[in-house]
Amino acid sequence: MRVVRRVLNRTVRFGGEEHSGWLPPGAAQPLPTPTINVLLNLEIVRGDGSGYFLQSSSTNISYVGDTWHESLEGAIEQAKFQFGIEPREWEVLFE
């Protein structure tokens, strides 16, 4: 497996989601989820077979995650959707 793109030390805010479920009549509205700023390192890794992994790990809390994508473009789109990383922000390591 080979790292083909990366973004290092990116601050991403987690949390802040509003309650969206059903509440009984007269119930108090829950507060949004707490927010935390997370310092992330993100990498797009080309798999040994096919596809790409978008890997993310934090440097200031305990957070690690990954997703699999059929294409490099799919991994880049997921990073934009999930973390707000624009395509131009990626450091290109390999084509």
Q: What is the pLDDT of residues 78-94, one digit of tens each?
A: 999 999 999 999 999 98
Residues 17, 24: Cα–Cα separation, whole Å: 20
> Quick one: tokens of 6?
């990366």
Question: Which residue shows structure tokens 């993100």?
Answer: 42
* DSSP class of 90: P
Neighbours of 8 (CB within 10 A): 11
What is residue 59's predicted lDDT score, i.e. its pLDDT? 86
Residues 32, 11: Cα–Cα separation, whole Å: 20
What is residue 47's predicted lDDT score, i.e. its pLDDT? 83
CA geometry: angle 38, 41, 43, nearest 5 deg:
140
Residues 75, 18: Cα–Cα separation, whole Å: 27
User: What global pTM score does this model have?
Assistant: 0.82
From 57, 59, 42, select the one nearest 5 (Cα to Cα): 42
What is residue 2's predicted lDDT score, i.e. its pLDDT? 92
Residue 1 pLDDT grade (very low, low, confident, very high; cuts 50, 70, 90) = confident
What is residue 49's predicted lDDT score, i.e. its pLDDT? 80
Neighbours of 39 (CB within 10 A): 15
